[in-house]
Amino acid sequence: MKPLIAANWKMHKTTREALKFVDHFKVCRTKDREVLICAPFTDLPDLCLALSRCDIKLGAQNMHYRDKGAMTGEISAPMIKPYVDYVILGHSERRSFESDKVVNKKVLSALKHGIKPVMCVGETLAERRKKQHKRKIRKQVLEGLKKVKDVSKVVIAYEPLWAIGSGKTASPEQAEEMHAYIRHVLKEKYGKKKADSVRIIYGGSVKAGNIKQLMKKENINGVLVGGASLSAAKFKKIIDY
């Protein structure tokens, strides 16, 4: 399975800044790994054009689950579909106002429109301390994947909340334990063959200095990078780990 190295720019980069960033990747050829940039909505049309000659895929960071309607300020799957291959759904920075049920509706809508969801799951430090982290992850995975048949199109991002933007990465062993657990939950629901086809990627303070050790682990099939993906030089080092 090809590892997925994904950037999550969050609310960073105007279109001008985004185009300047991808200028550094014009000759980027990435045979043995898939590289993805999840950019703000406003950057998507220009980035889509700019990236058309290189191997970097484009993703959005959210979308509404309805195709259209009276939903002021929202963006739907058909609106982003011309530009993206992927969409991040249920990022922890949104989950405080988005239930598992809403995330599930978004996952189903993305799949219906041929966009691959990167569904984020993760526990808080308090949940981990109370040893509730596995229960939390199991619930998020199973509820998020309700009625999903072709799970191989879904990417699951394990992002422990205590590691996001904190500089405190989960150790490769901690991450692998949770990735193996997610694989186990997928096996129970879909069987071994399908479960093994799902990419489970790690997010939370990933940088050039720790990606190599993380990627050595059997069940870590890629990374979702926030802060360190904002600099072209740093992101290049991460891609070339």
Residue of 64, 91, 133, 179 with catalytic role = 91
Nearer Cβ to ligand PGA (18/206):
206
Please tell me the distance from the alpha carbon of residue 63 to that of residue 175, in angstroms, as a whole number. Answer: 28
Min separation Cβ 190 and ligand PGA, Å: 25
Cβ-based nearer residue to ligand PGA, 93 or 176: 93
Residue-wise burial string across 70-96, b where 16 or more C-beta atoms lie within 10 A, e elsewhere? eeeeeebbebbbebbebbbbbbbbebe
CB of 85 to ligand PGA, least distance (A): 18
Contact between residue 6 and residue 58 where contact means Cβ atoms under 8 Å apart = no
Give residue number: closest CB to ligand PGA: 226
User: Considering all CA atoms of the chain, what is the largest pairwise distance in Å, rounded to the nearest integer?
Assistant: 49
Among 34, 123, 159, 176, the active-site one is 159
Q: Which is nearer to ligand PGA, 124 or 194 (CB)?
A: 124
- The interface mask with ligand PGA, positions 4-23, x = CB under 6 A, is ----x---------------
Give the other-Cβ count within 10 Å of 33's Cβ. 15
Q: State which of residues 165, 189, 191, 216 lies at the interface with ligand PGA (CB under 6 A).
A: 165
178 CB-side CA count, 13 A: 29
Beta strands in the chain (DSSP E): 4-8, 34-38, 56-60, 86-89, 116-121, 155-158, 199-203, 222-225
Residue 123: exposure state from Cβ atoms within 10 A (0-12, 13-18, ≥19) = buried
Question: Measured between alpha carbons, how far is 49 from 71 in angstroms, rounded to an integer?
Answer: 28
Query: Shortest distance, CB of residue 34 to ligand PGA, whole angstroms?
Result: 17
Given 100, 127, 159, 176, the residue binding ligand PGA (CB under 6 A): 159
Block residue for tokens 């909340």: 161
Q: Does 224 bind ligand PGA (CB under 6 A)?
A: yes
CB-nearer residue toward ligand PGA: 7 or 195: 7
Kindly state whether residue 164 participates in binding ligand PGA, applying the rule CB under 6 A. Answer: yes
Indicate if 159 belongs to the active site: yes
CB of 223 to ligand PGA, least distance (A): 8
Q: Near ligand PGA by CB under 6 A, which window of 29-37, 56-64, 106-114, 223-231?
A: 223-231
What is the residue whose two structure tokens read 């045979």? 31
Question: How big is the chain, counted in residues?
Answer: 241
- Binders of ligand PGA in range 171-210 (CB under 6 A): 203-206
List, by residue number, the catalytic residues. 91, 159
Residues lying near ligand PGA in the complex (CB under 6 A) are found at 8, 159, 164-165, 203-206, 224-228
